[in-house]
Amino acid sequence: STLVFWKDLLRHLNDTKDLTDETNEIEMEPVVEVPLPFEQRGCPIVDLGPNLDFIPDNGWQGDYPAHENEELNTVVHINQFEGDALKKLVKRAKLEGVSVHSAIYTAYLLAWVTHYQGRTVKTATAINCRPFCVPAVGDELGVFFGRFECGWDEITLALHAANDFASFWDLAREYHKRLQSKKQETCQRTLMMDSLLKTFPESYCDVWTSARKKYLMGRSGGLNISDLGRFDVDQEGNAWTMKEMWFCQSTHSFATAIALNVITACGKLDVAFTWQQGAVVDHKAEAVIRSFLKILSNQAI
């Protein structure tokens, strides 16, 4: 939905017929019908049974426990990965048979392993569920995403901790395989949450706030990547053009310990790392960021 909004805004800014002479206001077509939500868009709902994938409940949850009534306080670090290095990374990912997203995820995971060895960890990846609706959902605003979770044990991570070229791409292929095989199931499991949400807003809030008592650190923890992919717009001859685009979400104090938000636009990979102030040791989180950029650079050959 973020990309749909910005594409539409750029289109209207550059379409002079949409502007009035007096105020330069954009005249929008009135909304005559509100589209149906995700749960009513034909995504098949079947009895999938329990999720038997390895998802550690006692994995890494941060360095410091959450406070019962702590306020949201997001730390944000932004960086860019661009130019020839990004082009080489894209080419290498294709040669290795994986998506660029899988390479970014792997660098994120291994950067964390570099500074938090001997731990298990849960990761979450935001999934675009629009293609699994019937018919598929196009360019409209709405919430159409699922949360793909997978776990990594300390033995598997130790095998790849050396960060050599071959083991990096082996891990990237393993994640890519898991992700592709679980996309539709992830979207279906999102719709199955309806059976857990009996009352509003109590049940909805409890999904998150229960973490304060359920987990040792008061949060479910782990890593979370939200990757908006590549943002392409035709800018030739336009008065309004885009130079760069940042994507950054506030931290989730009941869940992720260190999150990564990325988007590729204008030949740059724009990167935002976030965490709740006081959840992790700042200099260790900053070291994870430096390792992430270094690991990506090492694969761009």
Instruction: Please answer whether residues 86 and 105 qualify as being in contact, where contact means their C-beta atoms are separated by less than 8 angstroms.
Output: no
Given a cut of 70, whether residue 242 has pLDDT beyond it is yes
pLDDT tens digits, one per residue of 185-241:
999 888 887 777 889 999 989 988 999 999 999 999 999 999 999 988 877 778 888
Token pair for residue 221?
A: 């923890």
Given a cut of 60, whether residue 19 has pLDDT beyond it is no
pLDDT tens digits, one per residue of 141-166:
899 989 999 999 999 999 887 768 89
Nearest to 155 by CA among 188, 120, 186, 130: 120
Given a cut of 80, whether residue 27 has pLDDT beyond it is no
DSSP letter string, 149-199? EEEE-HHHHHHHTT--HHHHHHHHHHHHHHHHHHHHHHHHHHHHGGGT--S
